[in-house]
């Protein structure tokens, strides 16, 4: 195939990891669906094109060939289309709906938050990424899965190892080994949970899949649990830490939330618009199709750049600013179509109903540590990498 020099030709993985937003702004402007050699995909960067393609899952398939996610996790529902996907999704859905999230999970999230804060409240300083956001997300996820006997540290290790494996395009042997070890750990934990929950259903994800009207097999449960561990830990962790950073940079907006608690949810939606925790996910075309002015061949691999959609100047005014009072609020950071984030309501509750209000209430005069700057990284997954803060103990 011959082609003209494109807007994506000069993009490097290094610059995407450091700060992808300038490259995305240029792509939106010059070539909204562009072949990017560095990532070996077409990147789709406009909000309207992503909304349109998620309405046509029969053409823009989630079942990607050569998927590293399949290699590391098995064939999860996130890489299936149509009825095969819907069967597994339906089986897992009940415990993640808004009502059980509010009535059953939120009081448990609150206990997780208070226990963690009890451990450091007197210190007057902490890295809230390491000391709070990570363990908070891990402990909550263990409960939601139905893992009664898995330590938060193990879950965090498994999550990182599985995520690194699904992104191991460099084919690094040590990364495969670590992901395999994590996968084996998850398999064992699932087996124990299945034995426990077989006799006694509980409101957890594994229990729901096991006791669904059309029950999932143990292999299906294992694959999906690996996907939930990949997607249910780092994303609430990153949105929690990134949004908290934004609120600490904008004390007037934090105060507005404290004065009117209904605004915490607005702050959450604004956070994931501003920096989408899942910045990019894959799709693959099933036939030749035109999208955003580019003709895509059949079986073209696409990167759907949610991070860019959140900064699309055609939808959001001053898109690079964090502003929970903005008028347009239609972000698409939970994805769209049949694969819309299963954990969206749990994440909203964990972060905006529990974590942020509790931290601001319990840590008096909470502020960024002026001596320790916040670092950022990532483009497939992005957020702050640390969050050093101080308060008046």
Partner 1 sequence: MPNVNFRHRDGSIDVVDAPLGSSLMSAAIKHPVDGIIAECGGNAMCATCHVYVDAAFGDRLPPMAEEEDEMLDGTASARTERSRLSCQIVVTEEMAGMTVDVPADQV
Dist. CA 114–CA 20, nearest whole Å: 35
User: Of 55, 177, 361, 375, which lies in the binding site for partner 1, with binding defined by CB under 8 A?
Assistant: 55
Nearer to partner 1, 283 or 348 (CB): 348
Site for partner 1 in 215-274 (CB under 8 A): 265, 269
Q: If we measure between CA atoms, which residue out of 375, 102, 136, 354 comes closest to residue 237?
A: 136
From 19-27, 122-130, 172-180, 332-340, span contacting partner 1 (CB under 8 A) = 332-340
User: Of 198, 340, 361, 367, which lies in the binding site for partner 1, with binding defined by CB under 8 A?
Assistant: 340
User: Of 54, 63, 238, 350, which lies in the binding site for partner 1, with binding defined by CB under 8 A?
Assistant: 54
Rounded to 10 deg, the angle between the 234-249 and 134-145 helix axes is 140
CB of 269 vs partner 1, minimal distance in Å: 5
Query: Residue for token digits 């002015």?
Result: 293
Residue 59 gets which letter from DSSP?
T
User: Of 330, 361, 364, 375, which lies in the binding site for partner 1, with binding defined by CB under 8 A?
Assistant: 330
CB of 85 vs partner 1, minimal distance in Å: 10
Nearest-5° angle of CA 99, CA 102, CA 107? 145
Nearer to partner 1, 3 or 99 (CB): 99
311, 24 in Cβ contact below 8 A? Answer: yes
From 51-59, 192-200, 232-240, 301-309, span contacting partner 1 (CB under 8 A) = 51-59
Window 84-113: contact mask with partner 1 (x via CB under 8 A): --x------x---xxxxxx-----------
Dist. CA 180–CA 27, nearest whole Å: 36
329 binds partner 1, rule: CB under 8 A: yes
Structure tokens at 142: 């263990």
Element (H or E) spanning 73, and its range? helix 68-73
Dist. CA 273–CA 269, nearest whole Å: 6
**Which residues are at the interface with partner 1 (CB under 8 A)?**
54-55, 57, 86, 93, 97-102, 265, 269, 329-332, 334-338, 340, 342, 344-345, 348
């Amino acid at each position: 195939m011959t082609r003209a020099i494109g807007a994506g030709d000069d993009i490097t993985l290094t610059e995407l990891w450091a700060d992808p937003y300038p490259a995305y702004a240029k792509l939106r402007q010059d070539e909204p669906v562009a072949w990017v050699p560095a990532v070996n995909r077409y990147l789709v960067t406009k909000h309207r094109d992503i909304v349109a393609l998620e309405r046509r899952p029969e053409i823009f398939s989630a079942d990607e060939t050569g998927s590293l996610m399949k290699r590391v996790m098995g064939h999860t529902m996130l890489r299936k289309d149509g009825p095969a996907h819907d069967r597994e999704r339906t089986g897992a859905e009940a415990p993640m709906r808004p009502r059980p999230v509010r009535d059953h999970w939120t009081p448990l999230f609150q206990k997780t938050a208070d226990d963690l804060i009890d451990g450091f409240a007197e210190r007057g300083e902490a890295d809230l990424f390491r000391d709070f956001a990570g363990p908070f997300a891990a402990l909550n996820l263990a409960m939601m899965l139905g893992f009664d006997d898995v330590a938060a540290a193990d879950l965090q290790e498994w999550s990182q190892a599985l995520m690194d494996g699904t992104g191991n395009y460099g084919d690094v042997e040590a990364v495969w080994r670590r992901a395999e070890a994590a996968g084996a750990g998850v398999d064992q934990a699932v087996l124990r949970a299945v034995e426990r929950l077989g006799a006694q259903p509980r409101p957890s994800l594994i229990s729901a899949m096991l006791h669904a009207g059309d029950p999932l097999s143990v292999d299906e449960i294992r694959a999906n649990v690996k996907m939930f561990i990949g997607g249910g830990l780092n994303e609430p962790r990153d949105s929690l830490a990134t949004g908290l950073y934004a609120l600490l940079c904008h004390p007037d907006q934090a105060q507005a939330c404290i004065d009117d608690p209904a605004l915490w949810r607005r702050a959450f939606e604004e956070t994931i618009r501003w920096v989408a925790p899942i910045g990019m996910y894959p799709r693959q075309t099933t036939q030749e199709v035109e999208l955003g002015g580019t003709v895509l061949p059949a079986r073209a691999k696409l990167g759907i750049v949610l991070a860019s959609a959140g900064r699309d100047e055609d939808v959001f005014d001053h898109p690079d600013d964090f502003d929970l009072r903005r008028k347009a609020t239609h972000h698409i950071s939970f994805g769209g179509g049949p694969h819309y984030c299963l954990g969206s309501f749990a994440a909203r509750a964990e972060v905006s109903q529990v974590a942020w209000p509790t931290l601001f209430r319990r840590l008096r005069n909470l502020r960024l540590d002026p001596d320790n700057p916040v670092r950022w990284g990532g483009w497939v997954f992005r957020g702050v990498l640390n969050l050093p803060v101080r308060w008046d103990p």
